[in-house]
Chains A and B, each alone.
Chain A
Amino acid sequence: MNLPTHVRYELLRALRNRRLLGISLAMPFAVFYAVAPENRHAQIDGISFPLYFMTAMAAYGGMWAAMSPCSRLARDRAKGWTRQLRITPLRARTEVAGKVLTAYLAVLPALILLYLAGVSLGVRLDATQWLEMTGLLLVGLAPIVAAGIGLGHVVSVDALTPTVAGFVVILALFGGAFGRLFNGGVMLTIVKLLPSYWLVQASKTVTGSGDWPAEGWIVIACWTAALVPLAVLAYRHDTGDD
């Protein structure tokens, strides 16, 4: 029905969730400032450390923010509110669209805050590059958003925090958000299959020292193609009767 109002209140709830703000904004920001100043002039993976780490932390915070509908959904589900919504004219697709939009709107501050932090330590990109990086990160977060909505429909409130934390932290770690782990070999081949690897690589793409090859797009597309139907299934399982 009224998507803007729905999204506005969803967003309001996201912004009022201090834990979410702490983990998606404050923590990556703090980690960036704890690590990057001392490595200000270092190079990593062929680019400047602040650029690499700024993008990595933006991706990390972005993943948390992208998962933000998950805990809201699980709480609403536990309280029976999602059931209450089903007896209003709110359509399922509006509800889901609202969740996706809110997730992305929660991602943006996480990115912008880290961009500012990066700039303060000498990261310089032109406008096109900033936009391109943002675009890549948003696209790369699509499977994470889908995973968040899917998990929100199946995981209980009790199991939620460890599930989401495990999911995000493992993806971030192996994707190289805390530093590049592998420079070759089987493990590199494996981590390249993770969407988080390509999120971190967005920094190299925009500076021209690497790019999102077809492989990157395929990995993101496959994860999205796999997780969206799973989220739909989870939704149906959750809201379907008996």
Chain B
Amino acid sequence: MRWGSIPGSSEAQNAPSLSSYGSGERPAARGEGPSRHDHCRMTAASAESGGIRAAGLKKSYGSVEAVRGIDLVIAPGETVALLGPNGAGKTTTFDMLLGLRRPDAGTVAVFGVPPAAAVRSGRVGAMLQTGALPDLLRVREVVSLVASYYPHPLPVDEVLTRTGIADLAERWTTKLSGGQAQRVRFAAALVGDPDLLLLDEPTAGIDVEGRHEFWQAMHAVAERGKTIVFATHYLEEADANADRIVLIARGGIVADGPATEIKAMAGSRTIRATLPGVDLAELRGLPGVLSAERHGDAITLSCSDTDAAIGALLRSFPSTRDVEVRGASLEEAFLELTLGDADGDDRDANGEAASPPGEESG
């Protein structure tokens, strides 16, 4: 396949998207309002110090290489999705961007300083993938507590309203549903009014309606010129909510660009048809066919060359009916680009590449 995806050698593939940020120039932040202190912060910072710069990040846990060389430049004001299957290395990457884990190799700078320093200055807010709220506190109290740690927090009530949890303000943290707790954690990440928000699978456990509200709230944050990086394995979320998608598989970046570009990169198209009782192996052997699936009488062929495949299909199986050719959906692009991961090593069901031994769940 064209995207023989060697993790770590992403530069060539990403040339189009990286070049625009790689010059050291900070591109105009999308929708960056004339917001208060940001402005002076930004002008004070040198051009190189904007956003996130990660170079050559590597991290192993024992013999498991969770991250095998990630280079990532994120400009201020961008909304970027780190998209990848479970175990791809998203959470480990996040932890390194946050300074929670030291990379084995490589460097990270957040707003031009090491992550821990950026965190200390209150410019970073994050939702980790794991983590519950402290007990014996009410929702409003937790959010107020977190607000007290930041130099310029937002009004707590405003944040509760914006994240849709105003009616839960007096609820004990231990009496929340998973989705409600997740929203409280989002409020806690927002309340410090950070310039950078890192959200690791932020909608896990939230129902459909709640997701919609969540992304609305996040768009409002993005419109204020904040930088947002979120990890997800929901393709639609990445497609609908990010300016740019960084596709991660097996610890490396396999694609990086706008959603449309990612789809184009995959290049594959799909043929669907009705063909009862056919042998999948025979279908896979047809020219131009990458993979074949069957659901009842319906077959789906993922193709590198649909023209060749259709011809061969109709010649070999004249009984084929209802033939339909479609461009790759993002989902298919995703599967294609990360295919190696799917049949590769099976990592823990918990998701991200194996926690280091002895690590507490958190």
Contacts and interface: CB of A to CB of B under 8 A. Distances in A.
B362 A82 contact: yes
A76 interface: yes
Interface in B134-188: 134-137, 141, 144-146, 148-151, 185, 188
Interface stretch (A87-95, A101-109, A177-185, A205-213): A87-95
Contacts of A85: 149
Contacts of A9: 137, 141, 144-145
A81 B119 contact: no
B124 interface: yes
Contacts of A128: none
A76 B356 CA distance: 20
Nearest to A1: B149
A12 B141 contact: yes
Q: Chain A binding site: helix, strand, loop or mixed by DSSP?
A: helix
A79 to B, nearest CB: 4
Contacts of A241: 95, 100-102
Contact of B360 (A1, A77, A84, A242): A77
Contacts of A89: 119-122, 149-151, 192
B42 interface: no
Nearest to A89: B122
A5 B120 CA distance: 18
A189 interface: no
A87 B101 contact: no
B130 interface: yes
B133 A81 contact: yes
Contacts of B133: 79, 81
B100 A87 contact: yes
A80 interface: yes
A85 B133 CA distance: 11
B61 interface: yes
A2 interface: yes
Nearest to B96: A241
A83 B131 contact: yes
- Of the listed residues A6, A16, A88, A241, the one surrounded by the most CB atoms of chain B closer than 10 A to its CB is A88
Contacts of A124: none
**Which of under 10, 10 to 19, 20 to 34, or 35 or more describes the interface residues of B?**
35 or more
B75 interface: no
B134 A76 contact: yes
A25 to B, nearest CB: 17
Interface residues of A, number: 30
Contact of A90 (B100, B121, B149, B356): B149
Contacts of A222: none
A236 interface: no
Interface in B2-34: none
B151 A84 contact: no
Given A78-B360, A79-B132, A87 B119 contact: yes
Interface in A45-92: 72, 75-91
Interface in A1-38: 1-2, 5-6, 9, 12-13, 16-17
Nearest to B102: A241
A77 B362 CA distance: 7
A9 to B, nearest CB: 5
Given A86-B100, A242-B356, A81 B132 contact: yes
B128 interface: yes
B193 to A, nearest CB: 12
Nearest to A242: B356
B102 A5 contact: no
B350 interface: no
Contact of A88 (B137, B141, B146, B359): B146
A88 B100 contact: no
Given A87-B128, A89-B119, A89-B121, A78 B144 contact: no
B82 interface: no
Interface string B63-78: 0000000000000000
B189 to A, nearest CB: 9
B319 interface: no
Contacts of B141: 9, 12
Contacts of A242: 61, 101-102, 356, 359
A13 B136 contact: yes
Given A17-B136, A87-B126, A88-B119, A79 B362 contact: yes
A128 B101 CA distance: 52
Interface of A: 1-2, 5-6, 9, 12-13, 16-17, 72, 75-91, 238, 241-242
- Shortest 3 CB-CB distances between A and B: which pairs? A80-B362, A80-B131, A5-B148
Interface of B: 61, 95, 98-102, 119-122, 124-126, 128, 130-137, 141, 144-146, 148-151, 185, 188, 192, 356, 359-362
30 contacts: A1-B149, A1-B151, A2-B148, A6-B145, A6-B149, A9-B145, A13-B134, A13-B136, A13-B137, A16-B136, A75-B135, A77-B362, A79-B131, A79-B134, A80-B128, A80-B360, A81-B131, A81-B133, A83-B128, A84-B131, A84-B188, A86-B100, A87-B99, A87-B126, A88-B192, A89-B120, A89-B122, A89-B150, A90-B149, A242-B356
Given A81-B362, A87-B98, A242-B356, 19 more contacts: A1-B148, A1-B149, A1-B151, A2-B149, A5-B148, A6-B145, A17-B136, A75-B134, A76-B134, A79-B135, A84-B128, A88-B122, A89-B151, A89-B192, A241-B95, A241-B100, A242-B61, A242-B101, A242-B102
